[in-house]
Amino acid sequence: MINLIISRLVQMFFLLLGISFIVFMSMHFAPGDPARIIGGPTANESDIENIRASLGLNRPILVQYWDYLVGVLQGDLGFSYQSNESVNQAIATRFPNTLNLAIASMIVAVIIGVVAGIVSALKQNTWWDVFTTTGALAGISIPNFWLGTILILIFAVNLQWFPAGGLSAPFWTLQGMKELALPAITLGTGSAALIARMTRSSMLEVIRSDFVRTARAKGVKEKVVVFVHCMRNAMIPVITVIGMNFGFLLGGTIITEQVFAINGVGRLMIDAIADRDFPMVQGSVLLVASLFVIVNLIVDIVYAFIDPRISYD
């Protein structure tokens, strides 16, 4: 296990190094000059050159990347071109909102997905199975911006059960639950559909196994068969999907944050891209990529605790 962790940490370093290089080069070669955006329409060429020099954009691009990399290794992601705010501080301020949204969405996805998948497998070829399969297909197909708008229209505008947007409290508080209810359902629907399909497929495979038939032949109660014998073995591939989706949720909150006016990292990233705010974009992407890799490492470690047969030595 220690060897796995060390190996993954080394891989993570080189992976993040490659991601930082790609993002850095993509932003610098993309259309749009941050110096002109900062200077505005009234700035002349001399003003623009002065802004470019003050930001260090007149130096060779590889020199700029090296300086950025040295700063990152020292824990300094730089300063925003637009507001001169520390990127570290900007992300630290907004990341809790993104994390709250991702966790709440994952809770919704796991509860709906696992329960629907298990019941669908146990009731195979019944109306419930057809309903769950159809619902999973719909959940994957419905775009977030459309679902979020419909939920706001019905539950926030017409029924006034939940706020239409904003986030001011953690997800475990009553106020936070109200504020995150609609965004979490919007963001978690697609993940719930994927988890339901994987849970159903994995449960069906395990249910047909010899050890399950043996347990039933011995007179073991059906609840014990399902929750002890079946679920523990069926959850291994499901955990993979859950872990992968949680990583995607952390980086995929952009549309949902825009729809529900949540001041998170996704919304920060969109604004930074529009303003050609290179340090802010690079810092946000690096954070999301780091979290995604860490989540995958945690999933691999959880495997060994769920199934002792899995060994990384």
Q: How far apart are CA 19 and CA 15, in angstroms?
A: 6
Domain that holds residue 157: 88-306
Task: Give domain status of residue 138, yes or no.
Answer: yes
**CB under 8 Å, gap of 24 or more: what pairs does 34-37 form?**
34/81, 34/275, 34/276, 34/277, 34/278, 37/275, 37/276
The CATH number that applies at residue 115 is: 1.10.3720.10
Q: How far apart are CA 116 and CA 192, in angstroms?
A: 9
Task: Give domain status of residue 24, yes or no.
Answer: no
Task: Give domain status of residue 287, yes or no.
Answer: yes
Task: Give domain status of residue 116, yes or no.
Answer: yes
Number of domains in the chain: 1
Model confidence band, residue 35 (pLDDT cutoffs 50, 70, 90) = confident
> Per-residue pLDDT tens for 287-306?
888 888 888 777 777 766 66
What is the mean predicted confidence (pLDDT) over 147-163?
Answer: 87
pLDDT above 70 coverage of the chain, percent: 95
> Per-residue pLDDT tens for 209-268?
777 778 778 777 777 777 777 777 777 788 878 877 887 777 667 888 888 888 888 888
Task: Give domain status of residue 105, yes or no.
Answer: yes
Task: Give domain status of residue 11, yes or no.
Answer: no
Q: How far apart are CA 232 and CA 243, in angstroms?
A: 16
> Per-residue pLDDT tens for 95-143?
888 888 888 888 988 888 888 888 888 887 788 878 887 877 787 788 8
Task: Give domain status of residue 79, yes or no.
Answer: no
